[in-house]
């Protein structure tokens, strides 16, 4: 797949309307899955050159296809998109040497993230900001392994990134104030809203969202109501744009399970994952990405 032609091609697209700050000229993303590709897409549209690094050639090709598909959809909606050479994909973190910001977007596993951050820190310049897209793992715990924790913070994007307006900027005990300011400005420059939270289990959004989601799963497990009716109760009764079970399908049941386990370690039994959630994950029913979770999803 190649990027579509536009009537007025530029090396970098203009920042979204309303942005008051520019993004770094070069941004790195380690991990090109659904989240990493979405993050790359956001920074490409805002004018950055983006390097996506993956574990092997097949994964790198899939990452490029995800980003290009998202850019094609943006072009179809009338958004000016960048030239093809503003996106590179590969296997070598040396590509991050020029980056002002590098974000790890590997799966929500502590060991994987520690390895990813070590690889990033070994490749970037001293003035680069390093960020984790973790949705629940302690920023301070991740920072403990880094030589420069002062330039590290969390940038928690939401799935799907192109449609989500929110990014949590998560500050660790040793994150420099100037880094928080820069990161918040970059979030604004990609057309999203930043909320700044201190490092705490589940931060703000995951802790609240998972609490609601787990209770909805327990209600379904107990036969209180169907998934559709539980979601409709929250959508119409509380004006939630999407019910907690459909949201869990979109986030991924495996992702929600991982977050719940992190929160259970921190807060105890109130975050214990329901048996139904564990069973669905064990059977490979992970939500929209596998075609089945609490709902059936067409391809």
CA dihedral for 56, 62, 65, 69, sign (positive or negative): negative
Q: What pLDDT is stored for residue 202 in this prediction?
A: 79
Share of the chain above pLDDT 90, in %: 81
Query: DSSP assignment of 7-34, as one string?
Result: SS--SSPPPPTT--SPPPSEEEEE--SH
pTM above 0.95, yes or no: no
pLDDT in tens, 83-110: 889 999 999 999 999 999 999 999 988 9
pLDDT on residue 7:
27
- Model pLDDT, residue 95: 96
Rounded Cα–Cα distance for residues 256 and 71 (Å): 28
H or E stretch at 195: strand 193-198
**DSSP track, 82-130:** --GGGEEEES-GGGGGG-SEEEE---S-HHHHHHHHHHHHTTS-TT-EE
Please state, in angstroms and as integers, the Cα–Cα distance from residue 46 to each residue in 89, 282, 288, following that order.
18, 39, 28
For residue 84 the two structure tokens come to 């093809």
How, if at all, do strands 87-90 and 101-104 pair? unpaired
| pLDDT the model gives residue 216 | 98
Closest listed residue to residue 170, CA positions, set 146, 153, 191: 153
Residues in the chain where the model's pLDDT stays below 70: 1-21, 299
């Amino acid at each position: 797949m190649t990027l579509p032609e536009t009537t007025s091609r530029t090396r970098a697209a203009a920042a979204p309307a309303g942005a008051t700050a520019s993004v770094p000229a070069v941004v790195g993303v380690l991990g090109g899955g659904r989240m990493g590709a979405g993050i790359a897409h956001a920074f490409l549209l805002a004018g950055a050159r983006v390097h996506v690094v993956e574990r092997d050639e097949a994964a790198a090709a899939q990452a490029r296809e995800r980003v290009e598909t998202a850019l094609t959809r943006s072009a179809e909606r009338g958004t000016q998109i960048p030239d093809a050479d503003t996106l590179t994909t590969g296997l070598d973190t040396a590509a991050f040497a020029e980056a002002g910001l590098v974000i790890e977007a590997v799966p929500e596993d502590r060991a994987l993230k520690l390895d990813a951050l070590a690889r990033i820190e070994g490749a970037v310049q001293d003035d680069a900001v390093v960020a984790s897209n973790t949705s629940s793992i302690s920023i301070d715990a991740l920072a403990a392994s880094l030589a420069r924790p002062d330039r590290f913070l969390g940038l928690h994007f939401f799935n799907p990134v192109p449609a989500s307006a929110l990014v949590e900027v998560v500050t660790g005990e040793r994150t420099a104030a100037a880094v928080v300011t820069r990161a918040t400005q970059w979030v604004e420059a990609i057309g999203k809203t930043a909320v700044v939270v201190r490092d705490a289990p589940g931060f703000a959004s995951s802790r609240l969202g998972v609490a609601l989601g787990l209770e909805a799963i327990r209600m379904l497990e107990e036969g209180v109501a169907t998934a559709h009716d539980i979601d409709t109760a929250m959508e119409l009764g509380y004006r939630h744009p999407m019910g907690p079970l459909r949201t869990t399908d979109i986030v991924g049941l495996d992702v929600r399970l991982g977050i719940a386990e992190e929160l259970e370690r921190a807060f105890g039994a109130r975050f214990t994952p329901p048996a139904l959630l564990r069973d669905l994950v064990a059977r490979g029913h992970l939500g929209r990405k596998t075609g089945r979770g609490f709902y059936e999803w067409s391809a």
